[in-house]
Amino acid sequence: MNLSDSVWYNKAMDKEIKLIALDLDGTLLNSSKEISKENRLAIDAARQKGVHVVLTTGRPLIAIQPFLKTLEMLDFEDFSITFNGGLVQRNTGQILSKKSFTHDEILEIKELTTKLGIPCDVLSEEKVYMTKSDVVSQYDTLNKLLTFIKVDFDQVTLDVVYNKIVSCTDKELLDAQLSKIPESYFEEFEIFKTQAKLLEFMPKGINKAYGLTQLTNQLNLGAENVMAMGDEANDLSMISWAGYGVAMANAVPAVKEEARIISDLTNDQHAVAHMIEKYVL
């Protein structure tokens, strides 16, 4: 399916959209990492109609606070899916659903990244434990709002919640080493790129579709009531799951293959606003 604004129909698309799930980078945010006026106004109009708008991201809640503030989505009845589905939260901070790694799983992934010669940063809530590796992590250049702690791996204690692991380095190195990961690791964990130079590890079965399922169950909604928009591999699950799965024009090919709707606009052309106006407003 490669036609502009093309749609393949299914019965779910007869249902009213009551929740819009939005990825951030490459989707809601433009190349300057900002929410355009067009996107903001469309989101506000959808919310005025009673539609939930949910930021669905790999980041922790603290790292998306500026965007929630811009969208005025900081109330008790506002929700976010963080850590790629590992946490479902009210935007006031209350956790509704949580799934994290065990220490043994963290150890297993650390051994893998060491063999591959790529960084291994362990995220626990708003803290990032940057464990020592042969290649210096670049993750601290992406998320300025997080607290970065440089440690030996054995200094990462047992009494923290392990939300996810990231490896952030040059795209060429990451792509070369990604192809060397044994299939057994993909069977045991969720492993995907979320940006050109960012590889993420999550507990098995934890993805954006999982997080949205937890939230929609609490809101008495179904997948058929959800429009999900994204562009990268970590958006695949929710785009495939949602009744209205939307790929940006700038989405990777795998996302376009799963999408029921492909926008003919990119994240720099206010694609989110266009989709909301066309299917919600």
Alpha helices in 179-250 (DSSP H): 183-188, 208-218, 236-241
Handedness of CA 211, 214, 148, 119 (dihedral sign): negative
Number of Cβ within 10 Å of residue 263's Cβ equals 27
How many whole angstroms separate alpha carbon 212 and alpha carbon 172? 33
How many whole angstroms separate alpha carbon 220 and alpha carbon 112? 41
**Which candidate, 244, 279, 249, places its Cα nearest to that of 261?**
244
Catalytic residue among 14, 23, 134, 268: 23
CB 214 within 8 A of CB 96: yes
- 23 tagged catalytic: yes
The set of catalytic residues is 23
